[in-house]
Amino acid sequence: MNQQRSRGSRPSLPSPSTGTLGVAVAVVALLLGFLILRDVRASSTTNGAVPTSAAPTPGEGSIDPSVTSTTLPLDVNGFKIQVANASGIAGSAGVMTGNLQDQGYKVLPAKNVAAGTAKRKTTGVFYLAGCEAAAQKMAGVLGGTVEVAVMPVPVPLEDGTLGDACILILLGTDLSGKPLPSVGTDAGGAATTTVPPAG
């Protein structure tokens, strides 16, 4: 007797069990996840990030005496300043605005005080709530005897508004036309900023 094989049917190959295949896929996924996580951690520390466990706590560590630090008078990017001319000397608020901008402060365009405001002999630094410390430091930047006080109401500006500034400098005759203490003048009278040497 001849047995005829049906055409089109082939002998079937043994197939792996579903359980074995699932375990193999899980092991490969776990291994890939571990390698990716390790690479991410390695790249974050080589890009300058300090792991939280390595961050120094206050009072620990030592200071290298050969390293000098430079401290800005205050965070020049944390607030905006409005300078207004209360001296009666034309253009003096614009000069002060430029001097402060040269030092990196965010200063709005200069304004004049409201009509009828008395001329000031002494420069005043006035602040909104939350800017008290910045106003004190700004008074130190201006040098001399500067009055520091809460912002008057209404704001004594020609347009009556501070915009988004939180400090108002009412420039008096004491500092009108004078450079900031950290700014000198060259032989031609132009303001020059002293820049410390890099190192």
Asked whether the predicted pLDDT for residue 69 surpasses 80, the reply is no
Rounded distance, CA 7 to CA 101, Å? 91
**Cβ distance 80 to 162 under 8 Å?**
no
pLDDT digits (tens, 9 = 90+) for 38-58: 665 655 544 544 444 444 444
Beta strands 147-150 and 124-127 are parallel
Q: Among residues 124, 129, 122, which one has the least CA distance to residue 79?
A: 129
- CA–CA separation, 122 and 140 (whole Å): 14
Bigger pLDDT: 22 or 142? Answer: 142
pTM above 0.85, yes or no: no
Cα 179 to the center of its chain, rounded Å? 25
Q: For the segment 139-177, what is each residue's pLDDT rounded down to a tens digit? A: 999 987 899 999 999 999 999 999 999 999 999 999 998
Domain ranges of the chain: 80-181
Bridge partners (DSSP) of residue 125 are 148, 169
CATH of domain 80-181: 3.30.70
